[in-house]
A and B are shown apart, each in its own frame.
Chain A
Amino acid sequence: MSVAFSLPDARWRAAEIAFWIATGLVFFVFPSHLVLASQVLITGLFAVSLDLVLGYAGIVSLGHAAMFGTGAYVAGILARNGWGEPLSGLFAAGLAAAAVAFVTSFLALRGEDLTRLMVTLGISLLLYEAANQAGVWTGGVDGLSDMQVRDLFGVFPFDIRGRTAYLYTLAVVFLVFCAARRVVHSPFGLSLRGIRESPRRMAAIGSPVQRRLVVVYTLAGAMAGIAGALLAQTTQFVGLEVLGFSRSADLLIMLVLGGAGWLYGGLVGAALFLVAQSLLSRLNPVYWEFWLGLLIVLVVLLARGGINGALTRVSARLGLARRQA
Chain B
Amino acid sequence: MTAALRTQGLSRSFGALKAVREVSFTLEPGARHALIGPNGAGKTTFVNLLTGALPPSSGAVYLGADEITGLAQHERVKRGMTRTFQITTLFPGLTVLESVVLAIFERKGIAASLQTRVANRTAEIHEAIHIIRELRLERDAGSVTRSLPYGKQRLVEIAVALATRPRILLLDEPAAGIPAAESGEVFGVIAALPREVSVLFIEHDMDLVFRFAERITVLAQGSILAEGTPQEIGADPRVREVYLGDEAARG
Contact = CB atoms under 8 A, between A and B. Distances in A.
Q: Do chains A and B touch in the complex (CB under 8 A)?
A: yes
Interface string A82-95: 00000000000000
Interface stretch (B15-23, B93-101, B203-211, B213-221): B93-101
B91 A201 contact: yes
Given A187-B105, A201-B91, A9 B119 contact: yes
A191 B74 CA distance: 13
B142 A5 contact: yes
Contact of A189 (B106, B118, B161): B118
A10 B82 contact: no
Interface string A107-141: 00000000000000000000000000000000000
Interface string B116-156: 11111100010001000000001111110000000000000
A185 B117 contact: yes
A203 B125 contact: no
Given A10-B117, A186-B118, A187-B112, A205 B138 contact: no
A276 interface: no
Interface residues of B, number: 50
For B102, B120, B129, B138, which residue has the most chain A Cβ atoms within 10 angstroms?
B102
Nearest to B119: A9
B32 to A, nearest CB: 21
A182 B102 CA distance: 17
Contact of A194 (B72, B94, B120): B94
B117 A9 contact: yes
Contact of B119 (A7, A193, A194, A196): A7
Interface residues of A, number: 34
Interface stretch (A208-216, A245-253, A267-275): A208-216
A207 B106 contact: yes
Given A4-B142, A7-B98, A194 B91 contact: yes
A190 interface: yes
Contacts of B114: 182-183, 186, 188
Given A4-B141, A193-B93, A198-B90, A204 B82 contact: yes
Nearest to A208: B74
A298 interface: no
B118 A190 contact: yes
A206 B78 contact: yes
B74 A207 contact: yes
Nearest to B72: A208
A7 B105 CA distance: 14
Contacts of B113: 186-188
B12 interface: no
A110 B231 CA distance: 49
B117 A193 contact: no
B53 interface: yes
Contacts of B90: 197-198, 201
Given A190-B102, A206-B77, A197 B107 contact: no
Contacts of A7: 97-98, 101, 118-119, 125
Given A186-B114, A204-B53, 13 more contacts: A4-B97, A5-B125, A5-B138, A6-B119, A7-B118, A187-B116, A188-B114, A197-B93, A198-B92, A200-B85, A201-B90, A205-B107, A207-B74
Interface of B: 51, 53, 72-74, 76-78, 82-83, 85, 89-94, 97-99, 101-103, 105-107, 110-121, 125, 129, 138-143, 160-161, 163-164
Interface of A: 3-10, 182-183, 185-191, 193-194, 196-198, 200-209, 212, 215
